[in-house]
Structure formats: C-alpha cells, structure tokens
Amino acid sequence: MIRSFTLVFWIDDGWYVGKLREVPGIFSQGANLEELKINIKDAYDLMLAETTQRIDS
C-alpha cells in the first residue's frame, strides 16, 4: 500500500526542518530539501517498525 503525506517544512538556522502533517510526532531535518525528505521517511519508517514491534509483543 502506498500512502501519501503532506510534508510541512521551514528553514531554521540554515537547516530544512519538517514534519508530516497527518502523523503527529514525526519531525526531522536536513541540510537541503532532498535530505529532509530522506530523513523524514526514515523517521516515519522507524515509527512504523516500533509500532509493529509493540503489536507483536
């Protein structure tokens, strides 16, 4: 299943900082927009892995 989320981002002290609008608590940063997109996906994937692990326990 492919999901689409809205990346809300801003520049803070030279860093691209962002969050997923539809998923509370998922934030990340990057040196540029492409790096932010990679990092925010990693943060989302980690959240999914932790949630799955809790359900399986």
Report which DSSP code applies to 43: H
Report which DSSP code applies to 40: H
Residue 1 lies in a domain: no
- Specify the pLDDT at position 17: 99
Tens-of-pLDDT digits for all 57 residues of the chain?
788 999 999 999 999 999 999 999 999 999 999 999 999 999 999 999 987 766 766
Residue 18 lies in a domain: yes
- Specify the pLDDT at position 57: 62
Residue 34 lies in a domain: yes
- Specify the pLDDT at position 54: 65
Q: What is the Cα–Cα distance from 23 to 40, expressed in whole angstroms?
A: 11
Boundaries of domain holding 47: 7-56
- Specify the pLDDT at position 47: 95
Residue 2 lies in a domain: no
Residue 39 lies in a domain: yes
Domains identified in the chain, total number: 1
Contact indicator for 26, 45 with CB cutoff of 8 Å: no
